[in-house]
Amino acid sequence: MKPKKNSKKTNKKQPGSAGFAQIQPLVAGIDVGSEEHYVCAPTSDGGTEMRVFGATTPDLQEMAAWLQQLGVTSVALESTGVYWIPMLEVLDHRGIEVILADTRQLSRVPGRKTDAEDCQWIQKLHSCGLLQGCFRPKDDVCHLRSLVRGKAVLVAERADWLRRMQKSLDQMNVRVHRAVKDVDGVTGMAILRAIVAGERDAAKLAHLRDPHCRKSEAAIAKELKGNWRPDHLFNLEQALKMYDLIGERIADYQREILSKMAELHCAQADQNPIQPIKNKEKAKAIKKRGEEPMRQALHSIAGVDLTTIDTVGVGTAEVLISEYGTDLSRFPNEKKFIKHLRLAPRQSITGGKPQSKGKGKKTTTRAGQALRMAATTAHHSNSAIGGYYRRLAAHKGSDVAVFATARKLGSLVYRMLRWGQAYVDEGVAAYQQRYQSTRVHRLKAAAYELGFKLEPQTTALREAAK
């Protein structure tokens, strides 16, 4: 029978309690729902009491007051959708520790059939110290994270409207994406706005090219002759308006994010002033995109410049700091951090033998995905990271190379944020020489185990082999 709201139920012995040693007596367990929250808390006589509260803010305040009255110091709850967020904020404001448990771990516990039994199991597991809370940054970082995630949604929507504009152009056979490299670049957007304004002369449209554009005006004009259908032109006009409107909202988000970052300024940033980027091409790209204010704001928060790491741009650094903040002490070592990024190889071992990985479930995090995107740019990087990527791509394919390079970038980010270790690029030539020395050392060791000895070839032997 489903208990009524605020009804009391004492449970002297919980299901499955045999064999469990209680190490935290004053803890509670909550089963989170969209309409009701089932709460199981300890009582003074050693038993437990369960109540059902609504999901409104007054109900949450009443729940927090009841838990404080019982002397509860810590609460464990399931990360169900976004329904747990208001509850966490209310409990955290009351000074009650909140452990956000992963629902995938709790779902493996057998014998739970109802919400009432769920909250009792959560309370029991938490009292025995068997629940590990998910990572959640500090509250001020959560504010920043919410803004950055909201901006990312708009950036994706703007890219979608850009694809719609390109579709309308393709239907008219106006090949702007062939005439210029980027449709949303200086020349591409100038041509699009002129078309929407009514210009149809291909020569005049080509005259809008940027002086740094590679193609000539004649080559561009040839691509801009098409069939100017009214319906496609109308679709193009509306898509451009939506593109501009979303761009204005993104600018609003950008101003709010920079304002929030100004509040998180750290003293370390004053002690270690930001330095110009040594990579001239990277510095030029950041300046062209107008990302220099964001780069300086990120440095003011962290006290270090993540963009000094090869292939890590301002956008990647923004995602990393907004998702994790600057305090990575929650992760005792970089392996734990890499695992949380979902960039650690999945190794299944049974009976001491590695098992076939199979397809598995491919999951990733926002920060892990950002590092993967940064790793894809290492293909043309003239750095040690670029040499590492190309070596793996040649032997194991680009997918493995992207994953491994993203993992290496995650380690570098952890060392910089946690220990302040500066990134120093040894160069692609030094990396290749070091890898070659390691390879020779391994070959010599393998030959020694087989009873052979490797010696370098003389010039005469090399000529003879040719």
Closest CA to 8 of 61, 64, 65, 47: 47
Distance CA 137, CA 330 (A): 9
> Which pLDDT score, from 0 to 100, does residue 104 have?
66
Cβ neighbours of residue 345 closer than 8 Å, sequence gap 6 or more:
none
Instruction: Let me know: does 309 contact 412? Beta carbons within 8 Å.
Output: yes
> Which pLDDT score, from 0 to 100, does residue 13 have?
44
Q: Grade residue 331 by pLDDT with cuts at 50, 70 and 90.
A: very high
Average pLDDT over residues 388-399: 93
What would the pLDDT profile of 410-451 be if each residue is shown by its tens digit? 999 999 999 999 999 988 888 888 888 898 899 989 998 999
> Which pLDDT score, from 0 to 100, does residue 2 have?
44
What would the pLDDT profile of 374-387 be if each residue is shown by its tens digit? 999 999 899 999 99
Residue 391 has pLDDT above 90, yes or no: yes
pLDDT above 70 as % of the chain: 89
What would the pLDDT profile of 103-155 be if each residue is shown by its tens digit? 666 666 565 567 788 888 889 889 888 888 888 898 899 999 999 999 999 99
> Which pLDDT score, from 0 to 100, does residue 358 have?
57
Residue 7 has pLDDT above 50, yes or no: no
> Which pLDDT score, from 0 to 100, does residue 16 have?
43
Where do we find the tokens 């062939």? 178
Distance CA 219, CA 377 (A): 29
Domains, the chain, ordered by start: 9-127 (3.30.420.10), 140-263 (1.10.287), 267-345+365-419 (no CATH), 428-465 (no CATH)
What would the pLDDT profile of 282-318 be if each residue is shown by its tens digit? 999 999 899 999 999 999 999 999 999 999 999 999 9
Q: Within 13 Å and on the Cβ side, how many CA atoms surround 383?
A: 19
The single-letter code of the amino acid at 334 is E
> Which pLDDT score, from 0 to 100, does residue 411 have?
96
Residue 401, token pair as written in the block: 């190379």
Distance CA 431, CA 418 (A): 25
> Which pLDDT score, from 0 to 100, does residue 115 have?
78
Side-by-side strand order, sheet with 36-42: 9-11, 48-54, 36-42, 27-31, 74-78, 97-101
Q: How many CB atoms lie within 10 A of CB 447?
A: 13
> Which pLDDT score, from 0 to 100, does residue 1 have?
39
Q: What phi, psi does 145 have (nearest 5°)? A: -60, -40
Average pLDDT over residues 320-325: 96
Distance CA 114, CA 96 (A): 26
Distance CA 254, CA 148 (A): 9
What would the pLDDT profile of 218-228 be if each residue is shown by its tens digit? 999 999 998 99
First to last CA, the chain: 87
3-state secondary structure labels for all residues of the chain: CCCCCCCCEEECCCCCCCCCCCCCCCEEEEECCCCEEEEEEECCCCCEEEEEEECCHHHHHHHHHHHHHCCCCEEEEECCCCCHHHHHHHHHHCCCEEEEECHHHHCCCCCCCCHHHHHHHHHHHHHCCCCCECCCCCHHHHHHHHHHHHHHHHHHHHHHHHHHHHHHHHHCCCCHHHHCCCCCCHHHHHHHHHHHHCCCCHHHHHCCCCCCCCCCHHHHHHHCCCCCCHHHHHHHHHHHHHHHHHHHHHHHHHHHHHHHHHHCCCHHHHHCCCCCCCCHHHHHHHHHCCCHHHHHHHHHHHCCCHHHCCCCCHHHHHHHHHHHCCCCCCCCCHHHHHHHCCCCCCCCEECCEECCCCCCCCCCCHHHHHHHHHHHHHHHCCCHHHHHHHHHHHHHCHHHHHHHHHHHHHHHHHHHHHHCCCCCCCCHHHHHHHHHHHHHHHHHHHHHHCCCCCCCCCHHHHHHHC
User: Model's pTM, two decimal places?
Assistant: 0.85
48-54 and 36-42 as β-strands: parallel, antiparallel, unpaired? antiparallel
Instruction: Let me know: does 417 contact 304? Beta carbons within 8 Å.
Output: yes
Q: What's the mean pLDDT when you consider all of the chain?
A: 88
Distance CA 170, CA 179 (A): 12
Average pLDDT over residues 260-265: 94
Which residue(s) pair with 77 in the sheet?
A: 30, 100
